[in-house]
Structures are given as structure tokens and as C-alpha cells.
Structure 1
Amino acid sequence: MFYSDWLYWLFIAFVCSSYYLLPGKIRPLLIVAAGANFYGYYAGPLLMLLITEACLIGWAAAFISRRTKRWFFAGVIAGAALVLIYYKYNELLLQPVLNLFSFFNKPYLPRADQVVLPLGISYFTFELIHYLVEKKKENLPEHRFTDFLAFVFFFPTLFAGPIKQFEKYFPQLRSRFEWANMRSGLVLIATGLFKKLVLAGTLDILAQPLYAKEGMAAEQTLMLWAALVAYTFVIYFDFSGYSDIAIGTARLFGIVLPPNFRNPYLSRNIAEFWNRWHVSLGAWLTKYIYFPLGGSRLAEHRTYINLMLTMTVSGLWHGAAWHFVVWGMFHGAMLCIYRFYVKRLKGRSSIPFLSPAFTALAVVFTFFCVTISRIFFVMPISEGWKFSLKLLGLENSI
């Protein structure tokens, strides 16, 4: 990945030093040029897709306000979503439909195995949708088109987030140089590299049985449990490490992005876990999926449906495969169970919920549930089911 490429760090040094030497009005242009070069270097010709989509969305957004016709606004949102669906979910959603109408397959549209997934498309699509929605609500400060492009092409977060919010990002584009930002940025980058290269890299050795069916069948139950727990930490150290690198790099430019992970494995319940895990994605899903569906304002059964739908979208966002849907629904079900417990059972129990013993037990139980869910994050459904049986010692079931 690019963080292990010495050219990436040389690129950061050059862009960062140039950034502070330029007047504030010119900085967005530097960010756009740097982001375009960065994306083009790693994604090649797909850079034109990002440029075209960003320009079209920016042009359409210029006409969007509270008075904009709903059909126009919905059409622009749908257009951004359809680009994501076509490139990321072609095989999962579109190809089965196209197979029913074979005359659409060729030469008009390429098959799923011919479609190249653009790097970071899930992240920049969610940022574009955020921008459009907040523009419709008139929540965005006055800005120029180049400021919008600088938001889209900000290279530290271009590939894997965190998902930015324009109204918080834009005012910082003209921040003054501060040594405190440099120090904290470098510390975050070093921390992220240690998480990814040392912790995640070391633990990944223990997680190897999860990646191969043959290895899974050969290992004993205890070793498979160890591999699953190791993989749970690999995901955390790898992704939070990347987030630290991205947030630290942004800090070098004087742009402060909020933490994307807040010790999620110390959560006492699944709702708290999702307030600590991939925070920028959770905030986006809550604001643009859960709340528009009605959130918790409607009847209780509708709240459960909204939770399930939101987490299903979360699963699909993570990957274009049905096992990600199962993973998302698993978390949705856990959130529903926890909500039912809080609403109906918690007040009737005599357990001292604030006691240290109960808190420790709650943390362990939440971690256990999250760990079990990782099975369907990393494996296809059939293999995940076999792995689950193996964990229970049902060796003859594989």
C-alpha cells in the first residue's frame, strides 16, 4: 500500500512545504493538483471518473438550495449512488438482472469481471452525497468551486477516509502553520505505522487459518478461536492504524479531523461499540440513512426495522458480497436486542449496572459478540457456517 512507498512520504513533504508557502486563496488549487496526481499515480485512468463525477456534482450543487425541485435533487443523489452501484455492486446486484436480458450484456455493458473498482469510490461517494444533502439544507458556508474540489481531492483521506464533513473541513483550509500540528501529526503517523506494520502484521500470522479452507479444516478448535480473536485485533490495528496515518497527515496541513476509532473493544454494549468504531461511517449512516428512515421517532417496531436496514447498508458498504450483508444484519440484530433490553428489561433487573464487575463482564460479552460477527466479515456464508460449527467442536460437520 502507498504508506510503505517512500515516494508517498517524499510527496507529502513537498506538498506540505508548498502548502504553507502559498497564499490562502491558492492552497485549494494545490490540494486539487496534489490529489489528482496522487489518485492518478495509484488508480491510473480511473482518475477521469473521479474528475468527471466531482465536476458534475459540483456543477449540479450550484443549483441546489431549499427551493430546488425535489426531482432534480433526487436525480443528482441517485446519479452519484448509481455510479457506486455500477462499479462496486455490478456482480452482486446488476449482473443477475442483466443475465435475464442477455441482449444487454454485450457490447453495451461490460460483464462484472470486466469492471475495475475505482479506489476509494465508497468514501468519495459518501462525501459527495453529504455535500449535496447539506447544500440542499443550506448548511454549508459560502465557498468557491475550487474549495469543493479541494474537499473531494484531499489526498490523505481519498482512499479510505475518514469520511469528512465539508462544513468542518473548509474553514481549516487556510490555517496558519503551527508546530503543535506538526508534532501531533507526526506522532499520529508514527502510531498508525506501528499499528499496521508491527501489531497488525504480527497478529495476522495467527489469523492465517481463517483465510484458507484447508487451514481451517486442519486446525484444532482452540487454534481456530485464537485465529478469530487475532483477526479481530488485526482488523482494528490495521484500519485504525490507517486512520491515524490519514488523520496525522491531515494535521500536517493544519486540518484537524476527529478520531475515527475510540478504543472500541472497551465498549460495554453494541450501541457504544458503534459510537467508537469507524466513527465517521457511523455518523454518516446515522445522519443520512437512519434518521431519514425515521430513526427512533416512530413506533418501536419501525425503529427495529430502521436499525436493521441501516446496518444492512453498512454491510453492503463494506463489500459487494452476501456475507457482508449477513455481517451487517448480525450487527443490526444485536442493536435491536440491546434496544429491547434497555427499553423493556433493564429497569426491572436488580443487577448493579454500574459495578466494576458488571462493567467488565459487559465489555467481555460485547467483545465476544463483535468477534463472532467477524466470521461472516471474512468468509463466504457457507464457509462461515462451517467455521462456526468447527468453533463449537462439531468437527464432523465440516
Structure 2
Amino acid sequence: MMYTDWFYWLFVLVAVVTYHLVPQRVRPWVLFASGVAFYYNFAGAYLFLLLAEVVIAIIVVKSAAKWGRRWIYPAGILTAILVLGYFKYTNMMLDTLHNLFGFIHQPFLPKAEQIVLPLGISYFTFELIHYLVERKRGTLPGHRPEGLLSFIFFFPTMVAGPIKQFQTFHSQLTARFHVDHLLVGVIRIGIGLFKKLVLAGSIDILAQPVYSASGIAGADTGGLWISLIAYTFVIYFDFSGYSDIAIGTARLFGIVLPENFRFPYLARSIAEFWNRWHISLGSWLTRYVYFPLGGSRVSAPRVYFNLMATMTVSGLWHGAAWNFVVWGMFHGVMLCVHRFYVKKLKPALKPVPKWLKPVTVTVAILITFFGVTISRVFFILPIADGWDLMLRLLGMR
């Protein structure tokens, strides 16, 4: 793990000090150079894939500006999607076809082990798509090529986000250094390390039974619930801990990143949960998937379809396996049920007395937490094993 390596933090120190010592016009190049060094160290030759994608994006923007051919933007976006699809989903598709037909693994097709997922490809692909879409819409400020290079190669967010917005990021490259950034950054990094190394690491011991079919078979229902709830907190502390470290490291550069978690397990509905959990991904999906499909401005059946489609994309983004698709659709169903309740059932209910609201809020939090927790069975395990675990948890097997 890079966060336990002293050399990584020495690298951060050198990058931060250099960034603040050079003239403002050179800062983007410092971020780009440090990102190149970081990515090559952890991903090797895949650095050149990322560089090629960024160069293509720059060519797309230049070509569209020079010749006024706006169709070039969709072509650039499709290129980024196809690259992501090849590296992330080819194995999934080949395995699926092989399981269905039994003859798909032929010599002319790549073997699964020959297709390795480049580090952080899901994150930098979504940022490239964001950049190209907003350039097409004309919402981005004027900038030189190094502006995009520094945005994509900003190493604190390259591995697991948060997913940035170019407008906000680029405007902060000229900010002056303040001691407050240093203090907040160090504290935030410390909180993140505590979450990942102490909390997630300790609780993970309780979560072990739900990681495999053999573990599930050897535990009783009560033990499985304890294990699944433990996993729910492990994934929160681990992921939010990483976000804290990324946000804290960015503050050392004087850059404020978007928050990614806001106490999600206190959400009172599944819709509120997605406004508190992996916020930068939820915002991206809303802006570039849900709204283009029509959002909530269309008929009720279409809204439900849009919710299901958006969450299916979310599931696929999280992992290249069918259990992640099921997990995403599970959340889509919960969002549809919540919308039906808000639009159709809730208006017909009597207002809750003021003295009873704390109870209803607590019940709502518990129901939401139950839905989020039970959905994790398909996040951890293949579909068949996840289904078996769910039946065990519900006392049906």
C-alpha cells in the first residue's frame, strides 16, 4: 500500500514544495510532471495509453475550434468509452460468451490474462468525458494544453478520485499559499490514514465470513449479519479514508477537491444516500447519464427507466462482472420505489406529529441502512453466492 511507504510521502513533499516555489505559469507543468512520475511508478507502460488519450482530447478540441466540426467531440468521447470498454469489459464479455456458447475462446481472441486493467482508468476516463462534454457546451474557461494535462495527471486523484470538475480545479492553480491549507491538509490526511489503517483494518476481521462461499457455509445467520454489517463499515472507512487522503493531499497544493462522503449511513432515504455516498460519482452520473436521458422531466415510466439505466451504469462502472450490474439494478429498484412513495403514497398520508418525528427519522435511517447493507451481497460475491447469502440472511435457507 503506497500510503505506508515513506518514499510516497517524500514524493508528495517534493512535489508540494516545488509547486509553491515555481512561478504560477509553471505550476500546471509541475502537476503534470509529478503525475507522470507517479503513474509510471505504479502503472508502468500504461502511462503511454493515458498520454495518448489526453493528446487525442487536445486534438479533438483543437480540430473542433479550427474547423467548427462539433461532431468531432462525440467521436472523442466515443474513443474514450471504447478504450475503457476494451480494457475493463472485454474479459467480462468473453467469459460470458464462453459460458453461454462454450466455443468463444479461440486462438484469435485475447486471453483473459492478456488484458490488464490500467490503474485508475475508470476515473480518468470519466474526467476526460466531462472535459470533452463541457468543451462542446462551451462552459469551460480558456486555457492552454497544460491546463488539461495538469487536470488529468493530478496524482492525488488518479487512483480513486474524487472525480473533479475542470472549471473548479483550473481556477485554483493561481491561488496563493496559505498556512490554513497546510493545517487542514495534514489533519485530513491523518483522518484518512486512521480510517483506512485502523478502523477498516480492524473491522475487516469481522467481515471475513462473507468474502467467500465457504465462509458463508460455516457461519450462522447471526454471524452472517454481523459480518455483512462489518463489511458495510469496512468499505465506508476504506473508501472515505482514501478520499480524505486525496482531499488532504490536494489541500497541500492549495487545491480544494469536492467532498465525496457526508455521513451516508445517516441518510433517511436511498435518494439521500446517493447524495451522501461517492458524491462525485453520483454528480457525474446525474449530469452525464440521468439528465441526458431526460431526468425527471419526462413521464413517470421514463423516469423509472432513467433511474434504472443510471444505476446500471453505476454498477458496471464499479466492476466488470454481472454481480455489479445486479447491485446497480438493486439500487435502481430502491430509487424507483422511493420515488413512487414520494410522488404517490406520501401525499396521501397524514402529517407526522412533531413529537413523533425523531422516531420516524430513526426508522427511515434504519430502513435505508438495511437496504444499502443487503445490497452489498451482490457487491462482494458472484450472483449465485450473493443470492444464497441473501436467503441465509433473511432466514429463507
Q: TM-score range by the shorter chain?
A: over 0.9
Are the equivalent residues in 2 in contact too, given 1:87–1:117 (CA < 8 A)? Answer: yes
Deviations for 1:83-141, whole angstroms, at most 9, x for unmatched residues?
0000000122356569989899545x522321010000000000000000000011000
User: Which whole-Å CA distance do the structure 2 matches of 1:7 and 1:155 have between them?
Assistant: 15
Partner of 1:267: 267
Deviations for 1:277-298, whole angstroms, at most 9, x for unmatched residues?
0000000000000000000111
Q: 2:376 aligns with which of 358, 361, 374?
A: 374
> Structure 1 residue 52 and structure 2 residue 38: aligned?
no
Deviations for 1:236-277, whole angstroms, at most 9, x for unmatched residues?
000000000000000000000121000000000000000000
Partner of 1:142: 142
Are the equivalent residues in 1 in contact too, given 2:312–2:328 (CA < 8 A)? Answer: yes
User: Which whole-Å CA distance do the structure 2 matches of 1:312 and 1:172 have between them?
Assistant: 34
> Structure 1 residue 235 and structure 2 residue 232: aligned?
no
Deviations for 1:131-154, whole angstroms, at most 9, x for unmatched residues?
000000110001000111000100
Stretches of structure 1 lacking an aligned partner (at least 5 in a row): none
Are the equivalent residues in 1 in contact too, given 2:105–2:111 (CA < 8 A)? Answer: no
Q: Which region of structure 1 is more displaced relative to structure 2, 144-153 or 2-11?
A: 2-11
Deviations for 1:198-243, whole angstroms, at most 9, x for unmatched residues?
1100110000001122111011110100000000000100000000
Partner of 1:364: 366
**TM-score, normalised with respect to structure 2:** 0.95
Partner of 1:43: 43
Partner of 1:317: 317
**Which amino acid is 1:363 matched to?**
I
Matches within 5 A, 1:274-289: 274-289=274-289
Deviations for 1:321-367, whole angstroms, at most 9, x for unmatched residues?
00000000000000000000000010111251861110111011101
Relative distance call for 1:385 and 1:104 in structure 2 (3 A) is closer
SS of 1:276 mapped into structure 2: coil
Partner of 2:348: 348
User: Which whole-Å CA distance do the structure 1 matches of 2:106 and 2:54 have between them?
Assistant: 28
Q: CA RMSD in A?
A: 2.0
Relative distance call for 1:166 and 1:370 in structure 2 (3 A) is same
Q: 1:383 aligns with which of 373, 382, 385?
A: 385
User: Which whole-Å CA distance do the structure 2 matches of 1:144 and 1:363 have between them?
Assistant: 47
User: Which whole-Å CA distance do the structure 2 matches of 1:167 and 1:104 have between them?
Assistant: 45
% same residue: 56
Are the equivalent residues in 2 in contact too, given 1:95–1:111 (CA < 8 A)? Answer: no
Relative distance call for 1:67 and 1:348 in structure 2 (3 A) is farther
User: Which whole-Å CA distance do the structure 2 matches of 1:35 and 1:261 have between them?
Assistant: 25
User: Which whole-Å CA distance do the structure 2 matches of 1:152 and 1:372 have between them?
Assistant: 35
SS of 1:261 mapped into structure 2: coil
Partner of 1:6: 6
**TM-score, normalised with respect to structure 1:** 0.95
Deviations for 1:142-181, whole angstroms, at most 9, x for unmatched residues?
1000111000100000010000000000011122110000
> Structure 1 residue 84 and structure 2 residue 97: aligned?
no
